[in-house]
Amino acid sequence: MGRVVVAGAFAALIVFAGAWGSWGTAQHAMLPKGRERGTLTVTECLPQRCEGTFEPLSPGATARSAVRIERSVVVREGHGYDVVLEPGTDVAVRAGVSGVLLAWLPLGGALLLASVVVAGGMRMPKLAWPLGLAGAGLLTAAFVLS
């Protein structure tokens, strides 16, 4: 009984940490109302981030010459991306379906890891399969739609 409780608590902690890690970015991608939306054209990529020009699409937004976005495999120089600016900053977050999926990537990884803990530590493969498939589905959808 102790093994199941400890493994269950550990799996819950993993999923909670993944959701917590995702929410910081996901809130901007999922709830863009009232935020500055526009198109970011990437002009330069550094090791940690990319920078570019921001052309507003939402009313009240202003054009900017230097907006940053986190560097990832889906951000390339010379390409334009629909973005939402974090309030009060020049930091952009991908918008739309692909932005939401990319924001929830940490949760997808956490679901995969938690499925291993549930299957091995709790010995509950019928619960582990849906967790693992949900995580793999999220990661795959983010890769395909980005």
The residue from 94, 114, 131 where one domain ends is: 94
Domain range spanning residue 140? 2-28+104-145
39 and 84 fall within a common domain: yes
Number of domains present in the structure of the chain: 2
19 and 37 fall within a common domain: no
The residue from 94, 113, 132 where one domain ends is: 94
- For residue 99, being part of any structural domain is answered with no
76 and 40 fall within a common domain: yes
Give the model confidence (pLDDT) of 50-90 as tens digits.
999 999 998 888 899 999 998 887 788 889 999 999 988 89
117 and 138 fall within a common domain: yes
The residue from 71, 94, 117 where one domain ends is: 94
74 and 112 fall within a common domain: no
Percent of the chain predicted with pLDDT > 90: 73
- Model pLDDT, residue 116: 96
Virtual CA dihedral for 73, 77, 79, 84, nearest 10 degrees? 70
- Model pLDDT, residue 91: 92
41 and 65 fall within a common domain: yes
19 and 55 fall within a common domain: no
pTM across the whole model: 0.84
- For residue 38, being part of any structural domain is answered with yes
44 and 74 fall within a common domain: yes
- For residue 48, being part of any structural domain is answered with yes
84 and 108 fall within a common domain: no
10 and 43 fall within a common domain: no
Amino acid at 36: E
